[in-house]
Amino acid sequence: MESLTCASSHLAPRPLQGASALPQVKVSYTVVQSALSKALRGERLSFEDGVNLYHSPDLLELGAVANELNLRKNGKDVYFNVNRHINPTNICALSCKFCAFSRKPGEEGSYAYSDDEIAHRAKVAADSGATEIHMVGGLHPRWKLSNYTNIISTVKAAAPHVHVKAFTAVELDWLARKERKPVAEVIAALRAAGLGSFPGGGAEIFTPYVRELICDTKLTGEGWLDIHRTAHKMGLRSNCTMLYGHIEDVGARVDHMMRLRGLQDETGGFNVFIPLAYQPENNELGINRHTFGVDDLKTVAVARLMMDNFRHIKSYWIMTGQRVAQTALHYGANDLDGTVVEEKIANMAGSKSGMQMAKSNLLRVIRDADRIPVERSTVYEPIRRYDNPAEDALV
């Protein structure tokens, strides 16, 4: 195959202009082959390997290697959880260009839930078997740390046994700056109120030349990593994400994965990596296309190969739809996320996946992919392994 030099990619909808801060990479089929062999031997892949894998002309071959690596780590088990999203407010001081969820104070459609509205949602979730409340929201200009600890206490009072996975590094940074307190103090206060772990939002793309174009007022990539480092050092676990399919090039994606891999080497505190496919509607970015299946599957597969110190890669059905999410279980993913129930962030940005999935359907999606469904806790402890298909009908 012909070699070419690239900083950007045919996969990027709109290649970035100007000098890239990332190294130029020579794309060649020989490098693709050597990267696949290295991965199968358990050797760590380089930036050049990752970019080349994205340019692999053979999706099935890439998927087969990612599948093999996943089967070595997880066998045929595929995780899901019974959870519920609650977004306490969409009022936000920032204006990230990809965001369709946020509203300014007083703007039509803006909201902030009362304690009762939060408690009601948490109680309904717990009564229907949820083990996790996932909670993230906008950066409300008037909310203080006490509002956040109160939200967690409210959830815990209504649903004492659920794990509260709440607030992104962006929200933690905002609170720490508002309160003029170190992030560690903010984390300690949230933990004392009942917080169990952190979700992976706000990571977007770390690479500065992309981040500046899509969310220039947000916490930097290094800042995001620092906050997760602090949380891990305090003994809390967290998730991590990558928002792809907008203006970024594949170099930025691989760079992002490598920065997460670096922190995982240092702390081992990440539960899972979650690629988030960009949803294009009702925002200011002006990239009016959804990602396609090939890019979604490549992203999962490249992540499985590059992020060798992660056990779990999530195929988040809300962003890609059930069909691609299921197929990704053969491209390196071993987790489907959960029942979700009330998803606003992707739905307001044009996701066609709906807001919730019944547990019985999650079982079917996993089973039909010839995998074994395992209900998990937020931190990936198995709750129940559904190894007898005859029992699915009883769920």
Among residues 183, 274, 302, 329, the one that binds ligand V47 under rule CB under 6 A: 274
Residue 139's binding partner, choosing from ligand V47, ligand SF4, none, with beta-carbon cut-off 5 to 8 A by kind?
A: ligand SF4
Q: CB nearer to ligand V47: give 204 or 248.
A: 204
User: Does 210 engage in binding with ligand SF4 (CB under 6 A)?
Assistant: no
Among residues 67, 154, 241, 326, the one that binds ligand V47 under rule CB under 6 A: 241
Among residues 204, 248, 249, 375, the one that binds ligand V47 under rule CB under 6 A: 204
Residue nearest ligand V47, CB atom distance: 201
Site for ligand V47 (CB under 6 A): how many residues? Answer: 23
Report whether 335 contacts 315 (CB < 8 A).
Answer: yes
User: Does 172 engage in binding with ligand SF4 (CB under 6 A)?
Assistant: no
Distance CA 266, CA 248 (A): 26
Report whether 102 contacts 94 (CB < 8 A).
Answer: yes
Q: CB nearer to ligand SF4: give 38 or 103.
A: 103
Distance CA 95, CA 100 (A): 9
User: Does 88 engage in binding with ligand V47 (CB under 6 A)?
Assistant: no
In which element (H, E) is residue 126 found? helix 115-127
User: Does 395 engage in binding with ligand SF4 (CB under 6 A)?
Assistant: no
User: Does 346 engage in binding with ligand V47 (CB under 6 A)?
Assistant: yes
User: Does 279 engage in binding with ligand SF4 (CB under 6 A)?
Assistant: no
Q: Would you list the DSSP string of 208-268?
A: HHHHHHH-TTS--HHHHHHHHHHHHHTT--EEEEEEESSS--HHHHHHHHHHHHHHHHHH-
Could you give the count of Cα atoms lying within 13 Å of 154 in the half-sphere of its Cβ?
20
Report whether 337 contacts 327 (CB < 8 A).
Answer: no
Angle between helices 47-54 and 29-40 (to 10 degrees): 110
Residue 138's binding partner, choosing from ligand V47, ligand SF4, none, with beta-carbon cut-off 5 to 8 A by kind?
A: ligand SF4
Which residues are near ligand SF4 by CB under 6 A? 92, 94-96, 99, 101-102, 138-139, 170, 215
Which residues are near ligand V47 by CB under 6 A? 98-100, 136, 199-202, 204, 239, 241, 243, 274, 276, 278-279, 283, 316, 319, 337, 345-346, 349
